[in-house]
Amino acid sequence: MSPVIFDRTWPFYVPIPTTILRDRFRELEAQAEALGAAPEHRDLVLNDVWHSCFCFATLEAAQAFAAPNGAEIKDARKRINKGTWQLWEEKGQTK
């Protein structure tokens, strides 16, 4: 599936640092699956730290997953693609 179609289908990304994911992967994957997460994950860098993202079709599902895990939600529709797929920048964001 193309990245564009993926982002349109599951626009709400919930990034989890890979250091946390390493110890809780099965638990988090089961939670995400129960909430209808995308069948695959996306990896990206936020603030110089690698994250694996669980992606959701609805904001409500993303919120239900993010809240108990202390995670934030990123909206793929606000993402700026500058040719570096793994770096996340949003419209209006300044460095």
Tens digits of per-residue pLDDT, 32-66? 999 999 999 888 888 888 999 999 999 999 999 99
- The tokens for 51 are 């994250």
pLDDT of 13 reads 94
Q: Is 47 left (phi over 0), alpha (psi -120 to 50) or beta?
A: left
Read off the pTM.
0.84
pLDDT of 53 reads 94
**Angle at CA 76, nearest 5°, toward 13 and 66?**
20
Q: Which residues contact 67 (CB under 8 A, 6 or more apart)?
A: none
pLDDT of 92 reads 57
CATH number of 3-78: 3.30.70
* Statement: residue 85 has pLDDT above 70: no
- The tokens for 27 are 């638990």
Q: What's the pLDDT band for 22 if we cut at 50, 70, 90?
A: confident
